Amino acid sequence: MAEPMREINFDGLVGPSHNYAGLSLGNIASASNAGAVSAPRMAALQGVGKMRRMLALGLPQGLLLPHARPDTAWLRELGFAGEDDAVLREAWSREPALLRNAFSASAMWTANAATVSPAPDTADGRCHFSVANLSTMLHRSIEHAQTLRQLRLAFADERFFAVHPALPAGLGDEGAANFMRLSTGHAGRGLEVFVYGERPAGGGAAFPARQHRAASAAVARRHGLSAAELVRQSEIAIAAGAFHNDVVAVANENVLFTHEQAFADREAVYDAVRERVPGAVIVEAPAARIGLDLAIRTYLFNSQLVTLAEGEMALILPQEAREAPAVWDWLEEVRAAEGNPIRRLEVVDVRESMRNGGGPACLRLRVAVSEEAHAGIDPRFLLDERACDRIEAVIEREWPESIAPDDLGEPGLWHRCRSARAALLTALGFAAGEL
């Protein structure tokens, strides 16, 4: 009998520097909200609200921390020198675009932090992480060093975990956002599906394909996977704004919940899943019913598909999906249909993150573990209601209420972002310099 396993979602807490700088080419929400005024405090409270909802559903919940922003260490690598304020002042006056990159709170989208292969799938029986290099987008390429530090701290117990650093930047890797695991249960050996993008033959793509095939293959090799499938994302999905596959498909245990146009060769993907995952259920949204544009606007597929204690599944959907009648009607049909375990639709408000292209599923990294491995995780990264109370109190006190584009040049905001993060780390029991 395989050991029972539970999936823990590690949500990225929205950092105090959350703003709308329009940094992600191919991410339509980010581009269309460029220049808007953000609400970091509300954004972070929305995120904690989602974490609380997961706890209320009886699911274990983890947390990853905001990175240090604005990232003066990175700006120093780019030749700015002196005290922190001098570095930031110079960057703002000479290269404001670089300062905007150094300011991004994009580490909140932890689905992009790493690819995670749970123990039953790997050759050495440990849970393997590969930190994503996120090298296609400048602002995200800054994240991997801090992500590695956090994951090595949270999952330091080498009896259960192996944390690999990012791949070389030439191989674009976007982590678990381009990855799905299908299995007959979390404890069974999974089929790990890696979804890569490719430039269309003849070129001419408006948007980059951020996940490279060779990166996916390298991660599968490193993790020692016995069952991996590399599949190509459809060009039309990327062109419509699905910059990550998790914007058009999500899997949980034996269920694949997907848009009809998510994959380049949909039949081949479905055949592989049916062949290799006994009892697989594929729930597909027909394009005639839900167009790609609507799916991407509402982030219907960027929901979290989770298994509840009684074995039924719930979709944790963004408010935007609830507000589109065509989407909601179809979801009600899915819920009522025979033969699939999706029985609950839970709606969460993560609007501030959504406006930068990050839905409920972008905000979390899934880690399936045995009870023993669960006990091996640094408890400061695991949440209960009391920890949520503490975090909320810090957010209320320390997070800026709003950030307008020109605020990025204000020393007051630089100091505030730094002290807010420091207050959070202290409240959670991290020593200065530990992260």
Per CB under 6 A, residues contacting ligand SUG are 21-24, 27, 30, 104, 106, 109, 111-112, 137, 140, 177, 243-244, 246-247, 356-358, 362
**Nearest approach, Cβ of 245 to ligand SUG (angstroms)?**
8
**Nearest approach, Cβ of 363 to ligand SUG (angstroms)?**
8
**Nearest approach, Cβ of 213 to ligand SUG (angstroms)?**
19
Q: Is 244 a catalytic residue?
A: yes
Which member of 244, 253, 259, 320 is catalytic?
A: 244
**Nearest approach, Cβ of 360 to ligand SUG (angstroms)?**
10
The secondary element (H helix, E strand) that includes residue 8 is strand 5-12
Which member of 186, 253, 352, 362 is catalytic?
A: 362
Q: Is 362 a catalytic residue?
A: yes
CA 177/CA 100 separation, integer angstroms: 24
**Nearest approach, Cβ of 262 to ligand SUG (angstroms)?**
13
Q: Transcribe 353-422 into DSSP letters.
A: HHTTT--TTTTEEEEEEEHHHHHTS-GGGB--HHHHHHHHHHHHHHS-S-B-GGGGG-HHHHHHHHHHHH
Lateral strand order in the sheet of 364-370: 61-64, 5-12, 364-370
**Nearest approach, Cβ of 405 to ligand SUG (angstroms)?**
11
Q: 396 exposed, middle or buried (CB, 10 Å; 0-12, 13-18, 19+)?
A: exposed
Q: Tokens in use for 105?
A: 């709170």
Strands 114-117 and 127-131: antiparallel
For 144-160, letters b (16+ CB in 10 Å) and e give: bebbbebbebbbeeeeb
CA 229/CA 217 separation, integer angstroms: 9
Pick the closer one to ligand SUG by CB: 135 or 370. Answer: 135
Q: Is 212 a catalytic residue?
A: no
Pick the closer one to ligand SUG by CB: 114 or 373. Answer: 114
Pick the closer one to ligand SUG by CB: 111 or 281. Answer: 111
Which member of 143, 174, 235, 320 is catalytic?
A: 174
Compute φ and ψ for 196, nearest 5 degrees: -115, 160
Helix, strand, coil share of the chain (percent; to 5): 40, 20, 40
Residues 6+ apart with CB under 8 A from 1: none
Pick the closer one to ligand SUG by CB: 107 or 187. Answer: 107
Pick the closer one to ligand SUG by CB: 114 or 247. Answer: 247
Residues paired with 12 in a beta bridge? 64
Pick the closer one to ligand SUG by CB: 177 or 368. Answer: 177
Active site residues: 174, 244, 362
